[in-house]
Amino acid sequence: MNQELAELAASGATALVSAMGTDLWNEARRLMSGVIARAHGSRRRELSVALERGSTVTRGAVDAAAVDFWTEALFQLLDRDPALAQDVIALATLRTAQRPDVVVQVNSATGSGEVFAVQHGDQHFASGPRSRDREERP
């Protein structure tokens, strides 16, 4: 497996699924439709149907199974035709024209994992009994 193609596929898939149900969806769907158009036969039909299902996703809902599906699909398409990389990069770096500072951020944790994320700023975090003691003192 080509690691660069795998990472690009994951980035494109994450951007696509994150855009579902948001103002970015029309542009994401347009970009992905261009990638799908280069697929062959039944695979093209399968991906087109899956893409249309994505337009009904609830705003802000990011489904890990959908990310996995699109990651695998994009990897297969990129593996077959590496020239698609520019189109997938455009998808992965999707921004709205009206608000170019808007970016998509997806954070996930499984099991007992924790996620601490921030965009455009600082995040300070302390854990444990000592940090709690300091927070309670005036």
Determine the Cα–Cα distance for residues 16 and 31; give it in Å rounded to an integer: 9
| Contact present, 94 and 28 (Cβ < 8 Å) | yes
Considering all CA atoms of the chain, what is the largest pairwise distance in Å, rounded to the nearest integer?
68
For the stretch 10-57, pLDDT in tens is 999 999 988 887 888 889 999 999 999 988 888 899 999 999 886 656
pLDDT of residue 122: 72
Angle between helices 25-36 and 41-54 (to 10 degrees): 170
Mean pLDDT of the 80-104 span: 77
**Residue 31 CB contacts under 8 Å (≥ 6 apart), including other chains:** 87, 90, 91, 94
Determine the Cα–Cα distance for residues 105 and 107; give it in Å rounded to an integer: 7
Q: Is the pLDDT higher at 53 or at 131?
A: 53
Predicted confidence band of residue 65 (pLDDT cuts 50, 70, 90): confident
CA neighbor of 34 nearest in space, from 90, 80, 79, 103: 90
